[in-house]
């Protein structure tokens, strides 16, 4: 008994022949039983239908040309999600039986695809407005709905909406234009032309964020690589595009844009100051202090080593002015540059006085060298650096030590002799009963 597959027809002319051409794929939806025809096979077995909730969607791709209408799928009971005012997807496909050769039973809510070797043109609906899908077209359908993909449609991905808090966000990249944008603070589902984008940070920035020693390292890593920093006193942010530099004054939440990066400060440290000893992402505005060791030489060639502490802070205009704030980061190593400038002033002032004069008036000489004099020849109260708004408010002389050993021994003997003279004078005054401060004749 010959077995013929349905939907096969052909026309034979004299002295000619043609084999039957079955359709390559068909979709069967349960509940039903059926038989496979010769040359047909199950593709991926029996599959469950897709049940989507309100926050889920399916990314679909057309495998062949599709032409269908909204009315057809609404008549079949399929809910088509819509995106940007256009139909989001196609609902089902005409289910055709494909013959008999063993009967797998199909339960409700499940379906399968039957494939055969050959070619078959997609079905063309006869009524309603048509939707044209070309091979390779992608679209997204959203729930809530139950969806069975047609034989001409491939399911690429099952997507779920990403819930984002007020301080959370994701980077989203458009695969057609390549443009990256940040989505912050609301629930979002990627469209068919979008994908998550990971922001790459320089290794230096990654090390500072993970070390925990930088004030800006108290951060929250957001989905998709978006970084947020809490309590950053004043991080500088720059972008690859020709946009103005952005300075954020703390305490504030810092959210990097897709084309923005942190400005890395390389500061001097140690005593005496050594360049590139410390790196930081934020600029502390102060007040604070820094300590430095300066070697000086007097007019009579006595070399001394001073340990000085400078109190400093940055002047920030109120209200904040963007051009004025941008100058805060105009000097990458403000600590090293300030200490070098102050040490140069001190060495120049001390080089013109003798050792005895400096030993007696060290504070006056150093303060006048650092702060300078005003129009009334009075020592100024502070020193301002106009390049970045740094203000040095005071200088503390912590120690004065001779560098040369002979000078150190002579200074020690001089100090001991002065102590002995003062002690002897006080003993003599006490022995003769003289008032304090008077010596016997």
Tens-digit pLDDT profile for residues 52-101: 999 999 999 998 888 754 433 433 334 333 333 333 333 333 333 233 33
* Cβ-proximal residues to 183 (8 Å cutoff; 6+ apart), any chain: 164, 169, 170, 171, 172
* 411 has a pLDDT exceeding 60: yes
**Cα-Cα end-to-end distance for the chain:** 153
* 431 has a pLDDT exceeding 90: no
For the chain, percent of residues with pLDDT exceeding 70: 71
| Cα–Cα nearest to 365, from 422, 296, 419, 432 | 296
Would you state the pLDDT for residue 183?
A: 92
* 41 has a pLDDT exceeding 50: yes
pLDDT grade for 179, boundaries at 50, 70 and 90:
very high
Would you state the pLDDT for residue 249?
A: 83
Mean pLDDT score, 245-259: 82
* 308 has a pLDDT exceeding 90: yes
* 290 has a pLDDT exceeding 90: yes
Return the higher-pLDDT residue of 322 and 128.
Answer: 322
* 194 has a pLDDT exceeding 70: yes
* Domains of the chain, start order: 25-160 (no CATH), 203-264 (2.30.30), 266-403 (3.30.479.30)
3-state secondary structure string, the chain? Answer: CCCCCCCCCCCCCCCCCCCCCCCCEEEEECCEECCCCCCEEEEEEEEECEEECCCEEEEEEECCCEEECHHHHHHHCCCCCEECCEECCCCCCCCCCCCCCCCCEECCCEEEEEEECCCCCCCCCCCCCCEEECCCCEEEEECCEEECCCCCEEEEEEEECECCCCCCEEEEEECCCCCEEEEECCCECCCCCEEECCCCCCHHHHHHHHHCCCHHHCEEECHHHCEEECCCCCEEEEECCCCCCEECCCCCCEECCCCEEECCEEEEECCCCEEEEEEECECCCCCEEEEEEEEEECCCCCEEEEEEEEEEEECCCCCCCHHHHHHHHCCCCHHHHHHHHHHHHHHHHHCCCCHHHHHHCHHHHHHHHHHCECCCCCECCCEEECCCCEEEEEEEEEEEEECCHHHHHHHHHHHHHHHHHHHHHHHHHHHCCCCCCCCCC
Structural tokens at position 281: 């992402």
* 205 has a pLDDT exceeding 80: yes
The answer to whether 182 and 257 have CB atoms below 8 angstroms apart is yes
CA dist., res. 122 & res. 108, Å (int): 26
Please state, in angstroms and as integers, the Cα–Cα distance from residue 20 to each residue in 4, 9, 11, 94, 335, following that order: 9, 7, 10, 21, 87
How many CA atoms within 13 Å lie on the side-chain side of 415? 9
Structural tokens at position 169: 């966000």
Would you state the pLDDT for residue 258?
A: 86
> Is the entire prediction scored with pTM above 0.75?
no
What's the chain's average pLDDT? Answer: 74
Let me know if 391 is exposed, middle or buried by CB neighbors in 10 A (0-12, 13-18, 19+): middle
pLDDT grade for 215, boundaries at 50, 70 and 90:
low
* 158 has a pLDDT exceeding 90: yes
């Amino acid at each position: 008994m010959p077995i013929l597959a349905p939907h096969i027809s052909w026309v034979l002319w004299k002295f000619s022949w043609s084999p039957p051409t079955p359709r390559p794929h068909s979709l069967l939806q349960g509940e039903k039983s059926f038989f496979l025809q010769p040359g047909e096979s199950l593709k991926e077995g029996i599959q469950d239908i897709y049940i989507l909730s309100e926050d889920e969607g399916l990314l679909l791709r057309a495998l062949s040309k599709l032409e269908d209408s909204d009315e057809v799928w609404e008549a079949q009971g399929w809910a088509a999600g819509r995106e940007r005012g256009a139909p989001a997807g196609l609902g089902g496909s005409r289910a055709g039986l494909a013959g008999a050769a063993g009967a797998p039973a199909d339960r409700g809510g499940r379906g399968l695809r039957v494939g055969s070797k050959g070619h078959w043109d997609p079905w063309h609906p006869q009524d309603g407005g048509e939707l044209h899908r070309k091979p390779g077209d992608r679209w997204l359908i959203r729930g809530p709905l139950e969806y069975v993909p047609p034989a001409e449609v491939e399911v690429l991905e099952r997507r779920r909406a990403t819930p984002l808090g007020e301080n959370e966000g994701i980077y989203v990249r458009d695969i057609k234009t390549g443009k990256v944008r940040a989505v912050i603070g609301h629930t979002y589902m990627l469209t068919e032309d979008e994908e998550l984008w990971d922001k790459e940070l320089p290794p230096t920035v990654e090390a500072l964020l993970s070390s925990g020693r930088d004030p800006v390292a108290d951060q929250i890593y957001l989905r998709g690589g978006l970084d947020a920093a809490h309590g950053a006193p004043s991080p500088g942010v720059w972008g690859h595009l020709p946009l103005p530099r952005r300075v954020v004054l703390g305490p504030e939440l810092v959210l990097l844009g897709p084309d923005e990066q942190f400005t890395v400060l390389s500061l001097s440290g140690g005593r005496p100051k050594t360049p590139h000893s410390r790196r930081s992402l934020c600029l502390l505005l102060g007040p604070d202090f820094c300590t430095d060791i300066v070697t000086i030489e007097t007019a009579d060639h006595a070399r001394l080593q001073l340990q000085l502490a400078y109190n400093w802070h940055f002047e920030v205009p109120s209200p904040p002015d963007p051009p004025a704030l941008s100058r805060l980061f105009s000097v990458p190593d403000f600590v090293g540059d300030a200490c070098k400038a102050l040490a140069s002033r001190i060495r120049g002032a001390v080089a013109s006085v003798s050792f005895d004069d400096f030993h007696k008036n060290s504070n006056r000489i150093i303060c006048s060298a650092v702060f300078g004099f005003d129009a009334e020849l009075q020592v100024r109260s502070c020193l301002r650096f106009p390049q970045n708004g740094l203000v040095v408010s005071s200088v503390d002389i912590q120690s004065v030590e001779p560098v040369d050993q002979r000078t150190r021994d002579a200074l020690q003997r001089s100090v001991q002799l002065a102590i002995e003279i003062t002690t002897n004078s006080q003993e003599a005054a006490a022995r003769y009963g003289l008032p304090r401060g008077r010596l016997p004749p």
